[in-house]
């Protein structure tokens, strides 16, 4: 039977809604943005991934829409670019530099995170072991967080009959934006163990400086350091197919995220480097993730979808997040230079 709510019920429920939103926003400041396609967001994963590709430059786009079925959806966009430098800054190393721009918006109050970062990586190769590469990277940048009160509702905006957003909310927020510096570093070791088997191990540490993220610079409200580890094992069955095992772990205080899975790659057309891939991963204790992708020449497109199986599935109906990523690698054509002079008479 339908029950009509009186004014007291509405105001009481509104208060609890505001408290819940504030708690969600407060907890969201303690965690970073995240992706399911970590392989398609290498610069966000680890600054030592800058330049770890065959080519001159790389462009990376990522978009994620998460928890659209609940009142506090997350929308995340990321753009990255990195370039291998022609001249080495340090002897016996190869350098790469990049840029990262991240935008994340969540909740009814549109809590936003905007980040601009610059990763720099030093790649070390060994003459005695050409199959071993070590990357040592650092990243530094500026981040801004903000909140839009106009998107929220307060009990004092109830005029007795209806909600009126023209009324004062009765709250005092002297500052709703904060800008801070952010520093991190990372290391990657890549080793070709056999002709068919390659292993890559990575470790990164973000927010080394533990910036204060309080709008009012309240003591102790810090963005704690985040640790991440990655392991990629790639085995080629033949010239046209291979399989890759992935493991990614993130830890930021009590917040943990472990992702594990397999992806199968099949070369449809070797001449154009057209590769189809499909994968199944799991964010342990949270969701299953299906991925599908296609690579053609120097372009790669991949999409994924999360199926939530944790207790939160009661709110999401099992639906987690949709994600799409695009990577483009370009390389300048290399001019042929003969090792010896050629006599024009015999040409």
* Span 43-62, pLDDT tens digits: 999 999 999 999 999 999 99
H-helix or E-strand containing 77?
Answer: strand 74-84
| Model confidence at 264: pLDDT above 80 | yes
| Tens-digit pLDDT profile for residues 311-326 | 766 656 656 789 999 9
Among 33-37, 283-287, 288-292, the minimum mean pLDDT is found in 33-37
| Model confidence at 83: pLDDT above 80 | yes
Phi, psi at 183, each rounded to 5°: -135, 145
Predicted confidence band of residue 12 (pLDDT cuts 50, 70, 90): very low
Predicted confidence band of residue 33 (pLDDT cuts 50, 70, 90): confident
Q: Residue 51, CB half-sphere, CA atoms under 13 Å: how many?
A: 26
pLDDT of residue 127: 76
H-helix or E-strand containing 44?
Answer: helix 42-45
The stretch 281-285 carries a mean pLDDT of: 93
pLDDT of residue 314: 61
Q: pTM score, two decimals?
A: 0.81
Rounded Cα distance, 260 and 247, in Å:
5
pLDDT of residue 232: 97
CB 142 within 8 A of CB 182: yes
pLDDT of residue 259: 95
For residue 27, the tally of other CB atoms under 10 A from its CB is 10
pLDDT of residue 28: 38
The stretch 142-156 carries a mean pLDDT of: 83
- Please choose, from the candidates 201, 321, 313, 185, the residue with its C-alpha nearest in 3D space to the C-alpha of residue 249: 201
DSSP 286-342: TEEEEEEEEEETTEEEEEEEEEE-STTHHHHTTEEEEEEEEEEEE-PPPPP--SS--
SS3 43: helix
Beta bridge partners of 256: 251
| Model confidence at 38: pLDDT above 70 | yes
pLDDT of residue 107: 73
Sole residue written with tokens 């890559």: 200
Q: Residue 263, CB half-sphere, CA atoms under 13 Å: how many?
A: 27
Predicted confidence band of residue 340 (pLDDT cuts 50, 70, 90): low
pLDDT of residue 315: 58
């Amino acid at each position: 039977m339908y029950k009509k709510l009186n004014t007291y019920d509405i105001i009481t429920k509104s208060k609890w809604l505001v408290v819940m939103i504030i708690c969600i926003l407060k907890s969201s400041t303690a965690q970073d943005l995240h992706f399911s396609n970590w392989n398609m967001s290498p610069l966000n994963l680890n600054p030592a991934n800058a330049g770890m590709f065959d080519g001159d430059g790389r462009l990376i786009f990522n978009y994620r829409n998460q928890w659209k079925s609940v009142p506090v959806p997350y929308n995340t966009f990321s753009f990255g670019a990195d370039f291998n430098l022609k001249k080495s800054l340090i002897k016996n190393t190869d350098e790469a530099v990049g840029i990262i721009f991240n935008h994340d918006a969540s909740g009814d109050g549109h809590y936003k995170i905007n980040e601009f970062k610059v990763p720099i990586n030093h790649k070390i190769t060994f003459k005695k072991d050409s199959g071993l590469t070590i990357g040592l990277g650092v990243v530094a940048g500026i981040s801004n967080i903000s909140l839009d009160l106009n998107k929220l509702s307060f009990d004092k905006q109830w005029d007795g009959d209806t909600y009126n957003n023209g009324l004062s909310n009765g709250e005092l927020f002297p500052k709703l934006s904060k800008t801070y510096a952010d520093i991190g570093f990372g290391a990657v070791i890549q080793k070709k163990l056999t002709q068919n088997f390659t292993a890559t191990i990575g470790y990164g540490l973000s927010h080394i400086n533990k910036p204060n993220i309080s709008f009012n610079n309240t003591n102790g409200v810090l963005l704690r350091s985040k640790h991440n580890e990655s392991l990629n094992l790639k085995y080629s069955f033949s010239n046209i197919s291979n399989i890759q095992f992935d493991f990614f772990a993130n830890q930021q205080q009590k917040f943990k995220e472990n992702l594990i899975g397999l992806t199968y790659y099949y070369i449809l057309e070797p001449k154009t480097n057209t590769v189809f891939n499909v994968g199944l991963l799991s964010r342990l204790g949270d969701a299953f993730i299906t991925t599908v992708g296609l690579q053609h020449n120097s372009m790669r497109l991949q999409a994924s979808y999360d199926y939530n199986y944790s207790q939160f599935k009661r709110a999401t109906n099992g639906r987690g997040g949709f994600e799409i990523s695009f990577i483009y690698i370009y390389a300048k054509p290399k001019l042929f230079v003969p090792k010896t002079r050629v006599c024009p008479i015999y040409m």
